[in-house]
Amino acid sequence: MNEVDIRAEKANLPKVLEFVESQLAAHECSRKVITQIDIAVEEIFVNISSYAYDPEVGPATIRTEITEDPLAVVISFIDNGVPYDPLAKPDPDIKLPLMQRKQGGLGIFMVKHTMDDVNYEYKDGQNILTIKKNIV
């Protein structure tokens, strides 16, 4: 297991993506899987940066673990911000015309549909959002 502690600021997104991709480098991931993981990581980290400590800025920890059988990456995003379960919100109705849709929720919807598992818990004063993606 590896982790990085970083300030939850949008400007740090490239560092977060670099950290996650460095963990995947030794495992022959397809470009499609890497892209899906990058999009999920970006969505989650930008949401933490935008809303967890608003209007302040606080810390975030990104933790990665590679598991076997099946070969997968597990990425946890941990912050001390306002308790918020993004999975509790209903999925947006993507069949509605664009102008009739409510704003928000599309990013976490994409995360839930591209990752193999997504979990949230609030524990010891921390939001912990964990995603898992099979990488073979």
- pLDDT for the residue numbered 103: 66
- pLDDT for the residue numbered 90: 73
How many domains does the structure of the chain reveal?
1
- pLDDT for the residue numbered 104: 61
- What dihedral angle (degrees, nearest 10) is formed by the CA atoms of 60, 38, 101, 121? -40
Q: What is the mean pLDDT of residues 55-67?
A: 96
Asked if pLDDT for residue 27 goes beyond 90, the answer is no
CA–CA separation, 43 and 128 (whole Å) = 15
What tokens appear for 107 in the block?
A: 């990013």
pTM (predicted TM-score): 0.90
Domain range holding 23? 2-134
Task: Tell me the one-letter amino acid at 61.
Answer: T
pLDDT digits (tens, 9 = 90+) for 71-125: 999 999 999 999 999 998 876 666 666 666 666 656 788 999 999 999 999 999 9
* SS3 state at 25: coil
Domain holding 83: CATH number?
A: 3.30.565.10
